[in-house]
Structure 1
Amino acid sequence: MHVVVNAAMSADGKLSSRRREQIAISGDEDFARVDQLRADSDAIVVGVGTVLADDPHLTVKDESLIAERREAGEADHPARVVVDSKARTPIDAAILDDAATTYVCVSEVAPIDNRMDLAGRAELVTAGDDRVDLLRAFATLQQQGLERIMVEGGGELIFSLFEAGLVDELRVFVGPKVIGGRDAPTLADGEGFAAEFPTLELTNLERLGDGALLTWRTAGG
């Protein structure tokens, strides 16, 4: 399995404002790059916070990319995965439509009623006691043939993936905006590392408009 974390952040490292409202950080060039990355993936992963804040669809937009997937014998869109320890994903969330298979990863503390509701719209993966055990959940996804994984956020999930040693590659578009705010989400939130910080090797730097795309490989990537 190869896990790529992809994100767009402001020049000061924020994913969105302190109100958790979606902000257009990148432009058309980066949108096209992200769409290509989606088309090249077996699954797109987000945390439940992203679902609740943005209600993303997580599908490939470009019809030519969809046609290429069909020619390769693949579904039009990659599978979608929500990491949702307490099964809070709304039943009417866009990510649960029939455009592609959706997996919802929950823990044992998720209410049974919520799990039953979601089971009618998605494939449930139960891993972990009070929070999703990402190592177990990703192992289950790999058993389903999902090898090329794209992670689109948010910050809590990204930190947890680095903490679990699951990230192989980090691609970040840094846009020409300053958002500010001590409570605005950053690329990697969560508890943060106090020691043994993950180290990255810069493999590519590319200018896109007035922003820059940085690609890093992790030590084990």
Structure 2
Amino acid sequence: MHVVVNAAASADGKLSSRRREQIAISGEADFERVDRLRADSDAVVVGVGTVLADDPHLTVKDESLCNERLERGEPKQPARVVVDSRGRTPTDAAVLDDAATTYVCLSEAAPVDTRLELTDRAELVTAGDERVDLLRAFAALESAGLERIMVEGGGELIFSLFEAGLVDELRTFVGPTVIGGRDAPTLADGEGFVEAFPSLSLEEVARLDDGALLSWRVEGR
């Protein structure tokens, strides 16, 4: 399995404002890059916080990219994955429509009635007691044939993936705006590291829209 974390951050490293409302950080060129990255992936992964805040569809928008997938013998759309320890994904969320297969990763703490509501709309993966055990969950996704994984956020999930040692690449578009706010989400939230910090190797820097795309490889992966 190869895991690529992709994110757009402000110049001061924020994913959105303290209100956790979606903010346009990048432009058309980056949107096209993200669409291509989705099309080249077997699955697109987000945390439930992103689903609740943005209600993303997580599908490839460019029909020509969808056709390329079909020509390669792949499904028209990559699978979608929601990491949702307690089953908070709304049953009417866009990510649960029939545009693509969706997996919801739950912990044992997710209520039974929630499982029953989700089971008709998604493939359920249970791993972990109180929180999703990402190592076990991603191993289950790999067993289902999902090898090329794109992670789109949010910050809590991204930190947890780094903590679990699952990230191979980090691609960050840094946009020309300052959001600020001590409570605004950053690229990697969670508890934060105090030692054994993940080390990155800068592979490429490219101008894109009015910002820059930074491509990093996680050392030791």
- TM-score, normalised to structure 2's length? 0.99
The Cα offsets for residues 61-93 of structure 1, whole Å up to 9 and x where unpaired, read as 001101101111111110000000000000000
Partner of 1:219: 219
The Cα offsets for residues 35-62 of structure 1, whole Å up to 9 and x where unpaired, read as 0000000000000000000000000000
Residues 1:54 and 2:58 are matched in the alignment: no
Residues 1:64 and 2:64 are matched in the alignment: yes
Counting only pairs closer than 5 Å after superposition, residues 17-36 of structure 1 correspond to structure 2 as 17-36=17-36
Partner of 1:142: 142
Check whether the contact 2:30–2:209 (CA below 8 A) recurs between aligned residues.
no
The Cα offsets for residues 17-38 of structure 1, whole Å up to 9 and x where unpaired, read as 0000000000000000000000
SS in 2 for 1:180: coil
SS in 1 for 2:170: strand
Equivalent residue letter for 1:194: V
Partner of 2:185: 185
Counting only pairs closer than 5 Å after superposition, residues 84-123 of structure 1 correspond to structure 2 as 84-123=84-123
Equivalent residue letter for 2:43: A
Identity of aligned residues (%): 79
SS in 2 for 1:37: helix
SS in 2 for 1:92: coil
Aligned-partner Cα distance in 2 for 1:205–1:216: 9
Aligned-partner Cα distance in 1 for 2:210–2:107: 42
Partner of 2:158: 158
Aligned-partner Cα distance in 2 for 1:209–1:132: 36
Aligned-partner Cα distance in 1 for 2:97–2:74: 18
Q: Which runs of 4 or more aligned residues in structure 1 lie more than 2 Å from their structure 2 counterparts after TM superposition?
A: none
Partner of 2:167: 167
SS in 2 for 1:128: coil
Aligned-partner Cα distance in 2 for 1:217–1:32: 22
Aligned-partner Cα distance in 1 for 2:71–2:209: 32
Q: Post-superposition shift, 1:209?
A: 2.4
Aligned-partner Cα distance in 1 for 2:77–2:193: 35
Aligned-partner Cα distance in 2 for 1:207–1:218: 22
Partner of 1:128: 128
Aligned-partner Cα distance in 2 for 1:220–1:63: 37
SS in 2 for 1:22: coil
Q: Post-superposition shift, 1:210?
A: 1.7
SS in 2 for 1:172: strand
Residues 1:202 and 2:202 are matched in the alignment: yes
SS in 2 for 1:5: strand
Partner of 1:79: 79
Equivalent residue letter for 2:41: S
- TM-score, normalised to structure 1's length? 0.99
Aligned-partner Cα distance in 2 for 1:209–1:219: 28
SS in 1 for 2:30: helix
SS in 2 for 1:75: coil
Equivalent residue letter for 1:96: L
